[in-house]
């Protein structure tokens, strides 16, 4: 995978989440790993880039994030929407959820969490410890330490989706998503 | 307007933001009011419903939110994308930005901030004071105290966009948005 993806300028990495796509949060710690779907993730700052993610206190992902201080936000392609849903509906405590959901991975560069194949973009994140936010709101603040995109869909700091299968998706509820739709350009 | 919109069950109000649309943040305090575009707003909790919004410390909107403890998140229709852009590119300190951007308003029910016409949905929000988050990250946490939607596009807790003009939009950068695209249903 690594030779087929391109680094994204860290100060532009917010563009990968700006339009509000669903994400897969991947984590690992001491040989255990997990993945969950998360709609509640977004940019928090440009440079150094930060993100926010809401990670429920009951999840195995939460355990691994608190143990490792790291996670990746993966921005999945439409063609794996069913796997995103599977990753959102079972617990990784019951076995390897990547295998269960049919998700394959490749290594990250700066963090221990694996990155998920068949995604448009990836943000490698290190948690900025904020105990009050984590405890009270299940809210994590993290710095983006590396960012990547598939050049077929994102290059020169802009999205250009070549086909429906490789669009990003936005979660509604009850197993339904929206595709990222048509480009709307406004007058200067 | 009020007779043409419908209340949304508070515990379901996260659905109005779940797919990551751009928002207009509207505010008012002691006869002064403002509006700004914000992509960095999302749900934080279901019940009682909470939202997150990133509001830059240099903005007039920030002044009015800190003074009033309130704001509304308005989810604009595609047909006012140019006005959303205008609301994101000038300061309300230089005159009434609603007038400048061509945005009309109607009164909220539970807060003093006005609601913006030509939107799909509205969330009336009261800030939960978190001084550290506000100061350090420009991050506001708020409780949703009332929520509304246009029944032409959202009813019975689901979106059903009748035409392109009344789709929601997702901000990219540089004056470009994406429309909310096609519905993707995954197998049960």
* Domain chopping of chain B, boundaries: 2-179
Q: What angle do CA B88, B94, B99 make, to 5 degrees?
A: 65
Contacts of A43 in chain B (CB under 8 A): 39-40, 54
Cis bond before residue B48 (omega within 30° of 0): yes
A33-75 confidence digits (pLDDT tens): 999 999 999 999 999 999 999 999 999 999 999 999 999 999 9
The whole-model pTM stands at: 0.97
DSSP-derived 3-state class of residue B40: coil
Residue A187 is nearest to which of B15, B82, B184, comparing CB atoms? B82
CATH of B2-179, one of 1.20.140.10, 1.10.357.10, 2.30.110.10, 1.10.10.10: 2.30.110.10
pLDDT above 90 as % of chain B: 91
Note whether A153 and A159 are within 8 A (CB): yes
User: Which residue in the set B42, B181, B188 is minimally distant from A178, CB to CB?
Assistant: B181
**A188, pLDDT greater than 60:** no
> Chain B contacts of A81, Cβ < 8 Å?
184, 186
What confidence tens digit (pLDDT) does each residue in A90-142 have? Answer: 888 888 999 999 999 999 999 999 999 999 999 999 999 999 999 999 999 99
**Gap from A177 CA to chain B (nearest CA, Å):** 5
With bands split at pLDDT 50, 70 and 90, how would you rate the model's confidence at B81?
Answer: very high
Q: Is residue B3 predicted with pLDDT exceeding 90?
A: no
What's the mean per-residue pLDDT of chain B? 96
SS3 string of chain A? CHHHCEECCHHHHHHHCCCCCCEEEEEEECCEEEEEEECCEEEEEECCEEEEEECCCCCHHHHHHHHHCEEEEEEEEHHHHHHHHHHCCCCHHHCCHHHHHCCCEEECCCCCCEEECCEEEEEEEEECCCHHHHHHHCEEEEEEEEEEECCCCEECCEECCCCHHHCEEEEEECCEEEEEEEEEECCC
ipTM for the whole complex? 0.96
In this predicted structure, what is the pLDDT of residue A89? Answer: 83
pLDDT of residue A94: 80
pLDDT in tens, A133-187: 999 999 999 999 999 999 999 999 999 999 999 999 999 998 999 999 999 998 6
Q: How many CA atoms lie within 13 A of B129 on its CB side?
A: 5
CB contact under 8 A, A176 and B167: no
Alpha-carbon distance of A32 to A64, in angstroms, equals: 8
pLDDT above 60 (res B188): no
- Find the angle CA(B27)-CA(B29)-CA(B30) to the nearest 5 degrees: 150
| pLDDT over threshold 90, residue B30 | yes
Nearest CB to A82: which of B15, B158, B187? Answer: B187
- Across B96-123, average pLDDT: 97
Which residues of chain A have a CB within 8 Å of the CB of B138? 45
* Set of chain B residues whose Cβ sits within 8 Å of the Cβ of A186: 81-82, 85, 175-177
B78, B173, B184 ranked by CB distance to A78: nearest: B184
Q: What's the pLDDT at A132?
A: 98
Tokens representing B168 are 């929601």
pLDDT in tens, B46-77: 999 999 999 999 999 999 999 999 999 999 99
Is the pLDDT at B84 greater than 90, yes or no? yes
User: What per-residue confidence (pLDDT) applies to B12?
Assistant: 98
């Amino acid at each position: 995978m690594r030779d087929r993806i391109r680094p994204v300028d860290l100060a532009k990495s917010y563009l990968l989440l700006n339009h509000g796509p669903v994400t897969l949060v991947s984590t690992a710690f001491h040989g255990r790993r997990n993945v969950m779907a998360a709609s509640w993730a977004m940019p928090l700052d440009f440079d150094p880039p930060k993100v926010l993610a809401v990670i429920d206190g009951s999840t195995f992902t939460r355990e691994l994030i608190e143990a490792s201080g790291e996670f990746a936000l993966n921005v999945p392609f439409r063609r794996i929407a069913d796997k995103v849903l599977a990753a959102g509906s079972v617990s990784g405590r019951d076995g390897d959820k990547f295998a269960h959901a049919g998700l394959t991975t490749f290594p990250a560069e700066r963090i221990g969490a694996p990155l998920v194949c068949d995604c448009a973009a990836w943000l490698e994140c290190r948690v900025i410890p904020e105990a009050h936010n984590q405890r009270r709101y299940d809210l994590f603040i993290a710095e983006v330490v590396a960012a990547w995109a598939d050049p077929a869909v994102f290059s020169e700091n802009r999205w250009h989706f070549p086909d429906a299968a490789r669009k990003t998706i936005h979660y509604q509820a009850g197993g339904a998503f929206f595709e990222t739709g048509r480009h709307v350009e406004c007058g200067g």
